[in-house]
Structure 1
Amino acid sequence: MNRKGRVLLVAALVGVVGMAFRVSWNALRDIANAIGADDTAATLYPFVVDGLMALALVATLVLVGKDRTFALRVLGTYTLASLVLNYVHGLVPELHGRTVDWGRLADWDPANWALVLLATSLPVGSIYFGSDLVAKVLHHRPTPISTVSTIAEESTETERIRSTADLPESTPTPVAATVVRVPDPVAVDYLKSTALLKSLAPIEPTPVAPIEHRAVAAESPRPRGATGRVPDAAKSTRPKRTPAQLLDEARTVTADWPDAKVTAEGIRREVHTSPANARMLRDTILADRATKAETTV
């Protein structure tokens, strides 16, 4: 809104407030006469009540925080008190012609006592609350815009750091270790070993690259990334072997080997199988030889 519009808005507000004060002034003056005020005091009485309302309204526009809340409470309290006194003035026609008994604002005694206490306490309250509001306004120091921006930035930075610090640390998922027990080659039983070999699933043979290829790969400056799915033509055409076939092949390969040479690593290289299967084949072959030696003796 431009400056001219603001000036017109304030002027309209002042006009409305002035007319409302004139209407309320008549009722408050008659109430003041009824509680024993002289003509001068009765004339000033509306300024005490409605004037403090205007002062509290200005204070709410200047003050902030708890002081602003206090000013709003004073404004609300005196607005309610003025409304009650105007309401009583409308209910008691005798107040208009000043024919009511002195100190009598209602027929019921408790209500009359409460109304007289309210009407007589408003001037004293205006002195106390008005002085307090003026002191708060005079001691109020508005915060510069640059300071407000700095405080807002510091608060945002503090909240960000606090939020980052409160983040829970990620806990790695525990990996369950699989313990494989290697049976004793001397105490292994031949029948149990054969049954265990039969229960093994067919094993995919592991192709071993030629030595020259491996040497070239070691001299490569950097490993090559995966290029996608391996085509079927490039896969090994060797059929999957059953545990019985692996055992037969291992027996054939190690037929001329002495017992000291029958090791899992040697069987793995000749048969081209996994280390676990190589150990199992070694144990079975050694058990076979031990059984044959006992039979011969």
Structure 2
Amino acid sequence: MNRKGRILLVLALVAVVGMAFRVSWNALRDIAGAVGADGTAAMLYPFVVDGLMALALVATLVLVGRDRSFALKVLGTYTGASLVLNYVHGLVPELHGRGVDWGRLADWDPANWALVLLATSLPVGSIYFGSDLVAKVLHHRPAPIPTEGANAEESTNTEMIRSTADQPQSAPAPVVVTRLTVPDPAPVTLGKSTLPGKPLPALTPPTKPVPVESGTPRPIPAESTRPRRATGRVPEAAKSTRPKRTPEQLLAEARAATADWPDAQITAEGIRRTVHTSPANARTLRDTILAERAAAAEAVA
């Protein structure tokens, strides 16, 4: 509906409500006069009842949750009270000309007491409930409704502050791995075996291929322009006090340490821990000792 149609609808509603209030105003004015109100109070009495109904209706359109339920209860209560008083006004013709006695709205006493209580308590209820509804409406904070422009701006800000790692990126190219063969180092001769015809194998560390990623530059240490200062001679206290052993001395220590070991216990790791040597030398010593024991067993047999 366009704006003009909405304005016409509101104006029609105001006209209908105004005419209905005028009809109800006549009945409520006569009721107020019957319960003891003077001329001015009787004219204002309809505004107390029907006016609070209009206020409660507006509150139901603004409030939410429990406050809205409370406003609906007030609206329903005062609507029912106005309906009852208008109904009594139609049943008692004497009220039209104010020929009824004060405080007499019905012939049956219990009904009369209830009607008088209802008519006299509505102004007090209007003060209490009206003040409460106005306070609730004034303290109500509606939730903000995001607009399309605000959403677009928020999305733009989020995109700008997002880290580089979160940005979408294409999958990296596959890495081709090639093998680079390292040349064999020069063999280290341990020495001649004490057994005839059994040369001692050379201590040669195993050669393993080193994988190199194709297309990936190898890091090159940066050259420093600062001159290196002389560190001086290493103090004697920092040098190792243990003399460097020859291959023959290593073999002799390994023979003495494993003299009472069974063949199953002679391993490279056990020899390395016992004589404190490198893994390569330990493997060579293990092979040599096992070979000597095998030759000695054949000679005895």
What TM-score, normalized by structure 1, do the two folds share? 0.49
Higher helix share: 1
What TM-score, normalized by structure 2, do the two folds share? 0.49
Point out the structure with max Rg over C-alpha: 2
